[in-house]
Amino acid sequence: MIYFIGAGPGDPELITVKGARLIAAAGVVIYAGSLVNRQVLDGCRPEAEIHNSAGMTLDEILSVMKKAHAAGLDVARVHTGDPALYGAIQEQMDALDAAAIPFAVVPGVSSFFAAAAAVPHELTLPGVTQTVILTRVEGRTPVPAGEKLADLAAHGATMCIFLSVHLIDQVMNDLQKGGYTRETPVVVVERASWPEQQVIRGVIGDIAARVQEAGITRTALIMVGSVFGAGYTPSKLYDGSFAHGFRDNKE
């Protein structure tokens, strides 16, 4: 079996129990070395064959998988965060499917959850927003029509913007075109959950300068929205006057 495993955002303790167990049992491990914390592999079998996919092509990765499958070995394909987000796993899964090689996906903790925890702050608040948009700016990978940053910003929801901090000036300009004001709160988290984690707070009007002063150019998430600065209505979940299936209304 080929297991696509989300290694989490960086802290090796944020991998799931299932993911860690499968990595420890695998005969072959292929990990995204440019992003995955190498400590995640500390539990690997001594005889495990380990490959860093940072310098490998798709064909090379698939070749290792197919060879391992033919030898009766399980493969742990370890991706950063959760592999469903910008993980480039679909082409791998489709190729395995075409070759009739079984595979499964083990979800992981995405960096946007780790970034929210680093602030710490909720991404949704009653009366402010109940929507979170996960996106990135257009670069070498284009975005479909209707998904430009300015188009998405028109919703006024919380936005988590991946893979875009190197274009921070453009990002802030696009957000304003979409309707956010210069005073909208912004939080940039570099290397969320890693020991060198850095949290930069500001507003659309000044965050670019703050980020550039901090020397942040990659491996950071941009979070934008009034949720980081607005007043809100407390949730009804724990309101004593709000009855639900697990708690009777005593009033």
- Model confidence pLDDT, tens digit, residues 73-93: 999 999 999 999 998 999 999
Residue 236 has a pLDDT of 65
Query: What's the mean pLDDT when you consider all of the chain?
Result: 93
List where CATH 3.30.950.10 sits in the chain: 111-228
d(CA 75, CA 99): 15
pTM of the entire structure?
0.90
pLDDT digits (tens, 9 = 90+) for 227-241: 999 777 777 666 666
pLDDT digits (tens, 9 = 90+) for 112-166: 999 999 999 999 999 999 999 999 998 777 888 889 999 999 999 999 999 999 9
Strands (DSSP E) found in the chain: 2-6, 28-31, 49-52, 75-79, 103-106, 132-136, 158-162, 185-190, 198-203, 220-224
Q: What number of other Cβ atoms are within 10 A of residue 155's Cβ?
A: 13
Backbone Cα Rg of the chain: 21
Residue 36 has a pLDDT of 95
pLDDT digits (tens, 9 = 90+) for 27-36: 999 999 999 9
Report the first-to-last Cα separation within the chain, whole angstroms. Answer: 55
List where CATH 3.40.1010.10 sits in the chain: 2-106
CATH topology of domain 111-228: 3.30.950
β-pairing, 28-31 vs 49-52, is parallel
β-pairing, 2-6 vs 103-106, is parallel
DSSP bridge pairs for 105 = 4
Residue 135 has a pLDDT of 96
Structure tokens at 77: 């394909």
- CB of 179 closer than 8 Å to CB of 153: yes
* CATH superfamily name and code, 2-106: Tetrapyrrole methylase, N-terminal domain (3.40.1010.10)
pLDDT digits (tens, 9 = 90+) for 89-105: 999 999 999 999 999 99
